[in-house]
Structure 1
């Protein structure tokens, strides 16, 4: 086990300053991280598809008092084929913070923050204080992970990345203490209960790491038995409980659609070339890739690359596998979505931090490490600026804002609500279904104006506030019960 705090601190002054003020600098970075994760969290618009659907699933679990079966619009959901752990996280957020977007996204934010913390601890213990500071800064400004579908979203991915990270770090730590492998197994199991088959990448990484390091030969049969139990017992318990509700229908759909179809075909048009994820990294991570190349060049020229690898060989092998294998596996799969590669961001941050530690120590003259440090900080600052600008300029959803701010109650309308996207539209989008449930405890029904006029039940129709809507209201003798500059709510007289 390596701990750089045990090494004598000699050489350039920057190294001494970074080591001396490590905790103060770490707190500053973490404070900025907390701000980035929470800034405008409660008003950032709900995203269609996965985030919205996760929100509906969790909200209706709570309303149905059924924490096993996920529903959409109060019918069993066989489209979102994820086990319930991430829904439980959202439910916990609702119970703590209330029925609002902060409660909805709170556990995702906490998961991302905890991921950054354990990156800090792991790099501190394995590589040193400079590595820890750099790794945390890189991870905290990895805007691809922080934005859509990630840390500030109600999706399952932030929790999944946390559990993925714990699982692989525990596997690496098992080289020094074998009992850590049980944490690997349990974290894998929980990751599966959050994100389903995506966790197969963990199996590949851990298996390859155990083979290359020859750890696979060092566990006895009792240790293997406990490890297998930790890895699969929670999944088996959930599966047995789930089949009591609808037989094997949900699990069969998980296998056929979420595993086989996504792997063998490009479902829903989510396709791309084999190098699609390389393009994503270039788009979202280009300046850190440049930093990575610069650090590698410094280590090669200074001939410190061999010492860096020798000092941390087991960690180096683990991190390389952790980056490369998911990229290969998800590149082979036919269905491609940008957030599939989120788990590679922690090891990339750790590699950059590890290289920065040895690169800064390579210099004797202070001016060169200062320049290198400024380059790394500049890259982080640029990404932080882009990230905050993204948050500030997100377009609002006018219907979501209307529901949040309106005092209208839907109780007397038996919660049957129609809202066409336009006057002639008929169906709801998923983000508005969730907004309706979250802010008004309403129930959406498709069909638009035609179904609204045919129903015998008390119902309410939401229309865009424009001349065409006013004409429609007059022609059908409808009553306006609430409105703002964007939305009009009407009922039948």
Structure 2
């Protein structure tokens, strides 16, 4: 849709596939189109730039929020953790709307808490909160209003501030939120009629309730290794009595269970909970370094430290295995045999790419060194050094995953060379027709420009 805005100027309703009004407001696409317009061209960089910008701003916002809420040390840990979490890194270079929602939801909740904590919510600054709440709806629809509203509402109820709830609901700023949020949907209803709203709330990607539990750990690596101990610490009465920790805990749990109870699920949906998770882990590490008597603190640091040492041995073993390649094909074949056909195809694409680059061997050796070093630092309770080690490991892994693993899959699956050949055969302004909806033709549309017509029908 960024391309359609850039090429046709249809800013308000960039039609999906050239026909349908998008089911969600196009805030992310507006930013992508503005970036493309500023540079005078559209490509992969201009489309992905808003996510990278919003991810960077999210880290900065979290740091200053953590500093105001706790102190500079906890804030720095939290910012480093967020910036180097695997899932957050991945979405920082994606062309999806979720990072946009995450930033504006974070801004909304941060502004609310700071104004509430300083008793400035009812001043003119309070309108900033309502403005951001409305912008959140433009990021990804009603969820941008529901989630912050639920978090704030439950927080105020648990802290026995029902008077604030009523004042929030009847504040003049509500009109500002509604004006921003409803304006686009009202125009979309006029333009698209009942067919537009019939597509709203449609449930796709249906998964079981427990779907997000493994992804919370996997996408939060390596920092999610501390998460069981951080969560265990929440059950102390002292922690829940602290309104700062309570606010962050509610932020995490409400986002997590909201999407867990939703029928439609994708791993990226829980991205908005990573800022508070990062700050909570950062606070736990800060308290651990200060020597505060937290339940299972010593055990938690030692447990993660030993995991790091084990991962160091695994990385070292893999390094020697790839250095002496006689048995590598056998190992790859054994692993591939355990996977589903689609995953198996991707695995062998990646395996072939890794086998042709010397970076992977270097990665394994450097990872082994960092895992050993980090493990020893944790066992010695040197939190600052361990944080630096885990951050370095995450960045190194991100370079491998984004630069080699995902890049090799994308290169094997992209239609860019195919479209380039088509463009050689037909004139620039001639239309291109695509038949069937049983395949992902988005890259064909992107690389072909605004001249593709999709003829619906199953292949």
What TM-score does the superposition give when structure 2 sets the normalisation length? 0.70
Provide the C-alpha distance between the structure 2 equivalents of 1:361 and 1:222, rounded to a whole number of angstroms: 38
What CA RMSD, in Å, does the superposition of the two structures yield over aligned residues?
A: 3.4
Provide the C-alpha distance between the structure 1 equivalents of 2:271 and 2:168, rounded to a whole number of angstroms: 34
Please say if residues 218 and 224 of structure 2, whose CA atoms lie closer than 8 Å, have aligned partners that are also in contact: no
1:226–1:369 CA distance, 2 compared to 1 (3 A): farther
After TM superposition, the structure 1 = structure 2 runs for residues 83-482 of structure 1, keeping only pairs within 5 Å, are 83-97=25-39, 98-147=41-90, 150-173=91-114, 174-176=116-118, 177-179=120-122, 181-199=126-144, 200-218=146-164, 224-250=170-196, 252-253=197-198, 257-259=199-201, 261-262=202-203, 267=204, 270-293=205-228, 313-362=242-291, 371-393=382-404, 394-395=407-408, 396=411, 400-402=415-417, 412-417=427-432, 429-437=441-449, 441-444=450-453
Please say if residues 126 and 173 of structure 2, whose CA atoms lie closer than 8 Å, have aligned partners that are also in contact: yes
Displacement after TM superposition at 1:353 (Å) = 1.5
Provide the C-alpha distance between the structure 2 equivalents of 1:74 and 1:332, rounded to a whole number of angstroms: 33
Displacement after TM superposition at 1:101 (Å) = 1.3
Q: Deviations over 1:430-472 (max 9, x none)?
A: 22211221xxx5425559xxxxxxxxxxxxxxxxxxxxxxxxx
Please say if residues 319 and 347 of structure 1, whose CA atoms lie closer than 8 Å, have aligned partners that are also in contact: yes
Displacement after TM superposition at 1:142 (Å) = 1.6
Displacement after TM superposition at 1:240 (Å) = 3.0
Displacement after TM superposition at 1:370 (Å) = 5.5
1:141–1:427 CA distance, 2 compared to 1 (3 A): closer
Which fold has the larger relative contact order, with Cα–Cα distance below 8 Å and residues 6 or more apart in sequence?
A: 1
Provide the C-alpha distance between the structure 2 equivalents of 1:151 and 1:292, rounded to a whole number of angstroms: 22
Please say if residues 295 and 359 of structure 1, whose CA atoms lie closer than 8 Å, have aligned partners that are also in contact: no
The reply on whether 1:64 has 2:76 as its aligned counterpart is no
1:307–1:325 CA distance, 2 compared to 1 (3 A): closer
Provide the C-alpha distance between the structure 2 equivalents of 1:322 and 1:426, rounded to a whole number of angstroms: 38
Please say if residues 101 and 140 of structure 2, whose CA atoms lie closer than 8 Å, have aligned partners that are also in contact: yes
User: What SS is found at the alignment partner of 2:12?
Assistant: coil
Provide the C-alpha distance between the structure 2 equivalents of 1:284 and 1:225, rounded to a whole number of angstroms: 38
1:208–1:369 CA distance, 2 compared to 1 (3 A): farther
Aligned residues: 363
Please identify the structure whose Cα radius of gyration is greater.
1
Please say if residues 117 and 136 of structure 1, whose CA atoms lie closer than 8 Å, have aligned partners that are also in contact: yes
Question: Where is the helix percentage greater, Structure 1 or Structure 2?
Answer: 2
